[in-house]
A = this chain, B = another copy of it.
Amino acid sequence: MLRLMAPKGERLLGSRNLTATFGSSECNVLVSLANMGLPTGFITLLPDNEITHSFKKELRSFEVDTNFIIKKEGRFGVYYIEQGSNMRSTKVIYDRDYSSVSLGKPGDIDWEKAFEDTYWYHISGITPALSESLCDLAFESVLCADKMNIPISFDLNYRGKLWKWGKSPCDIIPKFTEKASVIIGTEEDFNTCLGVEGKSPNEILSKAKEICPKAETLSIINVQSKSANYKIWKGEMLFKGNYYESEEYTIYNIYDGIGGGDAFSAGLIYAQNNFDEGESIINFAICAGLMKYTFVGDYNLATVEDILNVMKGNKGSINR
């Protein structure tokens, strides 16, 4: 999507200036992984116009492969954002109806070809939320990846403003997570999308594991919101049968409150592929997520070195 942001401290369109960047859940994860040095590619449907052209230009700059961006009638989705501050919440207005991707339907993408040489497949719960036909197309992808033994990570990512096409997440998401080896969400996501409840993150994750037998990793981002700018994050993870908790990290001056969850997902995927210890994995993912909040836009621009510095306890000292 094209993301159009009002200047800080202003209402949307309160002045003439908008900051235009790109972003959407899966894309954010890919750019984040590319910045960590992993090879990545984006599979999606977009219209054939100058907006798509600019978007592909940006993806290439990050070394995200754009060869599987397929042309399709429809619009380039837009979302408007007014960043919150303090007690004032961030406002998001979606203008993604009739986007090319939401018009997607089974058959639009040759998944076997798209997945050639693929070592990992990531998808979020936003995709099946957009339309019934897209949900079907997305499920096709999961079946294909599963058949080709490509590990799948699934970010539950519940959005109350979406899911307007007739089904509720609980009807749909479990079919996807059944095939996934990594599952990510907030406590609320696990409840809304998988129907699991519990008194503790551990209990929730354990129950989720029961209905997602292939999942080697299930994790929760635990956020305490002191204000739009000031949050305390902690990660919880059930990993190969053991339960891990990250350190608690406080961030006082969030620069842009979007994309933290996507950066966490990317961190988890990276760590999964590079570290063995459960503790390192969950701490790396949490630090990756928080680093996103220090950049404007949807993307996490942090390098692996940046994230490791935070894990080692660096709190913003200058290096010179």
Q: Which residues of A contact B (CB under 8 A)?
A: 2, 4, 7-21, 49-51, 54-55, 57-58, 60-63, 75-76, 78, 80, 82, 84-95, 97-98, 159-161, 225-230, 249, 251-258, 287, 290-291, 293-297, 301-302, 306, 309-310, 314-320
Contact = CB atoms under 8 A, between A and B. Distances in A.
Given A87-B316, A90-B319, 19 more contacts: A9-B297, A11-B301, A13-B20, A18-B19, A50-B80, A50-B91, A57-B61, A57-B62, A58-B61, A84-B316, A85-B316, A87-B290, A88-B291, A88-B302, A89-B317, A89-B318, A228-B316, A252-B252, A258-B318
Contacts of A315: 87, 225-228
How many monomers of this chain does the complex have?
A: 6
Contacts of A18: 4, 17-20
- Rank and list the top 7 A-B pairs by shortest CB-CB distance, nearest first: A228-B316, A9-B296, A13-B54, A61-B61, A92-B320, A88-B294, A9-B255
B320 A160 contact: yes
Given A252-B226, A253-B229, A287-B87, A295 B10 contact: yes
A255 B290 contact: no
- Residue among A252, A256, A290 having the largest count of chain B Cβ atoms under 10 Å: A252
A85 B297 CA distance: 15
A213 to B, nearest CB: 31
Contact of A61 (B60, B76, B90, B227): B60
Contacts of A159: 320
A254 B291 CA distance: 18
Contact of A60 (B11, B16, B60): B60
Nearest to A56: B61
Contact of A4 (B20, B90, B93): B20
11 contacts: A12-B51, A13-B54, A17-B20, A50-B82, A50-B93, A60-B61, A78-B78, A87-B294, A89-B317, A227-B251, A257-B316
A310 B9 CA distance: 17
A105 to B, nearest CB: 18
Contact of A17 (B19, B63, B82, B294): B19
Given A4-B4, A228-B316, A50 B87 contact: no
